[in-house]
Amino acid sequence: MKKYIVGITGASGSIYGIRAAEELLKQNNEVYLTITDNGKKVMSYETGYEVGDIIEKLKNIGKINLCNNNDLFEPIASGSFKVEGMVVAPCSMSAAGRMANGISLNLLDRAADVCIKEKRKLILVPREAPLSNIHLENMLKLSKSGAVILPASPGFYIKPQSVDDMINFIVSRILDSLNIENNLCKKWGA
Ligand SMILES: Cc1cc2nc3c(=O)[nH]c(=O)nc-3n(C[C@H](O)[C@H](O)[C@H](O)COP(=O)(O)O)c2cc1C
């Protein structure tokens, strides 16, 4: 059983992180979930789900560990705690800025910092429009440090029939980036 971290920040699109955690669990991985304070607020506003609802749902799928994002004593704060990789979906521009500058104000920031220093997979799913030079420079810096920048911008060539199809497009790309086989969306040429 491999371990993955899923982080959810206060950018729009917590559903991407929730669905990514679901798919990781379905494939028998262990998930450490950490959600920023703003992430909880925006998630509740957008989806109507509170953290407890999410955990109830995920507990029925597999091994989910809810971390306290304000507790830097959690296992994922240390490089000696081995994980396969981390997904931050959605990733706020604020979180990207903190990560790009090595500033760990909470557990999510610190876990991402650990992935960068340990050269582990770090998939960031930013959502902002338009992007300022500051946002772009921060993301370039993160990309140069090994992070994968995977914007929450679904392709329309799959001819999505529902919002779910569009979400699955992004979740599929997240799993692809982690080298995890999936059939969440039809692959081009398949
Ligand atoms: C409804 C709502 C939607 C937001 N959407 C975004 C967004 O898409 N991208 C972004 O970077 N920030 C967005 N923000 C702002 C972030 O929540 C804000 O920058 C916050 O400080 C991020 O904190 P965090 O990185 O600790 O989660 C949104 C805020 C609200 C209230």
Two tokens, residue 106: 């909470």
Domain annotation covers residue 140: yes
Domain annotation covers residue 42: yes
**pLDDT number for residue 92:** 98
**pLDDT number for residue 17:** 98
Domain annotation covers residue 34: yes
Give the chain's domain count.
Answer: 1
Distance separating alpha carbons of residues 174 and 178, to the nearest angstrom: 7
Domain CATH for 153 = 3.40.50.1950
pLDDT surpassing 80 at residue 160: yes
Question: Where do we find the tokens 């599929």?
Answer: 172
Domain annotation covers residue 90: yes
Domain annotation covers residue 182: no
Distance separating alpha carbons of residues 108 and 99, to the nearest angstrom: 9
Domain annotation covers residue 96: yes
Three-state DSSP class for 82?
coil
* Ligand 1 nearest-atom number relative to CA 108: 26
Rounded mean pLDDT, 12-17: 98
Mean of per-residue pLDDT scores for the chain: 97
**pLDDT number for residue 188:** 83
Q: What is the DSSP pairing of strand 148-149 with strand 3-8?
A: unpaired
**pLDDT number for residue 132:** 98
C-beta of residue 40 within 8 angstroms of C-beta of residue 7: no
**pLDDT number for residue 187:** 83
Rounded mean pLDDT, 163-179: 97
- 127 appears as a binding residue in the annotation: yes
Which residues span the domain enclosing 101? 3-177
Domain annotation covers residue 151: yes
Instruction: Say how many C-beta atoms besides its own lie within 10 A of residue 46's C-beta.
Output: 12
**pLDDT number for residue 91:** 98
- 4 appears as a binding residue in the annotation: no
**pLDDT number for residue 53:** 95
Rounded mean pLDDT, 104-111: 98
**pLDDT number for residue 6:** 98
Using a 6 Å CB cutoff, which residues line ligand 1?
9-12, 36, 38-39, 42, 45, 92-95, 127-128
pLDDT surpassing 80 at residue 190: no
Q: Read off the pLDDT band of 24 (50, 70, 90).
A: very high
Rounded mean pLDDT, 20-44: 98
Rounded mean pLDDT, 112-134: 98
pLDDT surpassing 80 at residue 74: yes
Cis peptide before 90 (omega within 30 of 0): yes
Domain annotation covers residue 31: yes
* Ligand 1 nearest-atom number relative to CA 39: 27
- Residue 133, C-beta contacts closer than 8 angstroms, at least 6 positions apart: none
